[in-house]
Amino acid sequence: MFASGIENSIPKIQNGRVRVDEMEKCGHYRHWQKDFDLVQELGIGFLRYGPPLHRTWLGHGKHDWAFADETLADLRRREVIPIVDLCHFGVPDWIGDFQNPDFPALFAGYARALAERYRWIQLYTPVNEMFICATFSALYGWWNEQLTSDRAFVTALKHIVKANVLAMRAILGVRPDALFIQSESSEYFHAENPRAIKPAEVMNARRFLSLDLNYGRRVDSEMYEYLLDNGMTREEYHFFHLHDVKGRCIMGNDYYVTNEHRVMDDGRTYPSGEVFGYDEITWQYYDRYRLPVMHTETNVNEGPKGDEAVSWLWKEWANVLRVRNKGVPILGFTWYSLTDQVDWDTALREDNGRVNPLGLYDLDRQPRAVGKAYKQLIADWREVLPTHSDCLRLPLVPPDEFDQQWAARERATAEAKEQKPSSEPSQPD
């Protein structure tokens, strides 16, 4: 799966007074048809894409599907398969923020409603980057609730991951052969000196919490105490072991040059730059969860020389091939996003309107050098890779074949498996 995405982050900042809407800032509401033209121009068959949650989900059981109807139908007509991204760093005003305990169940209702309306959609990312969303909103104090405590972080995390799990369950109730691609940040924390070893170890354990809970894996003993000490009940923890949907998941992981950190002895961190790289860190996550992998996000600024993004694309692709050659079942690659973004140089904390040259195209929809390079990469590799892995294929149903008899049989088989009690343990001891 060669993919890109339309950036649809919607966090709130300035104590909830300002909504950051990247679709608005990047011009997608005005130029969505042109954006889809560009996807096809690149030869991309998959697009990380989702309706803007705050404009679509108006209240409990209340929706405005107008924009989603138009855009998703157009993607279907073009035979571009969407990986539908439902919640990207923010919630509608009426929900409040990620401290709201009602969010998980309400979000599951939204996910079910969307799946019922667009039954032809098979691929989903219910909640994007759960760990980052909880960290930036409730530990760093940058977005949404803008809190800075371990208790607030655990509260946000348990609500976000529960929302993701319940949404997956709700979608499977409508589309039993649905597949879920987690887009989660892959992190690593390097100790700067011997006194920093302990805080780095804690951070390296905490980075796995979102996926541990999501996949029903027992967390490490220190993290179990951390969760309970900061407000998670035993019943809440047990929920994640009773609602295992791991078998329908692809472990999408995101890697940027900012994903590795140096840790000081007082627990403060700052960027280390690329030390291990995508190859090593992806192996750490794969070794923990043993799921098929997709590289779901990367980018870098075009830079003053104009070739920095092209070099990064080559390096990330080399890492993908290295991971694959090690035996990890890696199914796809994504440059994120299709166009330049706005204000990510401050992690969306400031509303400056500053354009960040991160896209395959600029905001005038002209190709950047990395866009041309990605188009060539896809053309060079798309026919080669499948010949090496005929037995490793996703059970995808193309949208234009959704109504075919064979596709209906696939859904019936998936539904039967879903309803059959499993005799296997939900996660490793």
Query: Is residue 424 situated within a structural domain?
Result: no
In a domain, 429, yes or no: no
Instruction: Look up the domain containing 190 and give its range.
Output: 2-419
Q: Are 155 and 99 in contact (CB under 8 A)?
A: yes
Write down the pLDDT at residue 248.
95
Please indicate, yes or no, if residue 82 is contained in any of the structural domains.
Answer: yes
Task: Give the mean pLDDT of the chain.
Answer: 95
Kindly state the percentage of the chain with pLDDT values over 90. 91
* N- to C-terminal Cα separation, the chain: 33
Q: Count of CB atoms within 10 A of residue 93's CB?
A: 12
Asked, for residue 427, whether it belongs to a domain, the answer is no
Residue 30 CB partners (closer than 8 Å, separation 6+): none
Residues 158-163 have a mean pLDDT of 98
Residue 425 placed within a domain:
no
Measured CA to CA in angstroms, residue 374 lies from 2, 207, 369, 385 at distances of 9, 30, 9, 16
- Listing DSSP states for 48-110 in one string gives EE---HHHHEEETTEE--HHHHHHHHHHHHHTPEEEEEEESS---TTT--TT-TTHHHHHHHH
Give the tens place of pLDDT for each residue, 140-158: 999 999 999 999 999 999 9
CATH of the domain at 185: 3.20.20.80
Instruction: Establish if 174 belongs to a structural domain.
Output: yes
Say how many domains are in the chain: 1
pLDDT of residue 387: 62
Structure tokens given for 70 = 């138009």
pTM exceeding the 0.85 threshold for the entire prediction: yes
Residues near 298 by beta carbon (within 8 Å), at least 6 away in sequence: 254, 255, 256, 278, 312, 316, 334, 335, 336
Q: Does 128 map to a domain?
A: yes
Count of other CB atoms within 10 angstroms of residue 233? 11
CA dihedral over 126, 156, 241, 106, signed as positive or negative: negative
CB atoms < 10 A from the CB of 61, how many? 10
Rounded to an integer, the average pLDDT of 4-11 is 98
pLDDT at 324 > cutoff 50: yes
Q: Tell me if 175 is assigned to some domain.
A: yes
Percent of the chain residues topping a pLDDT of 70: 96
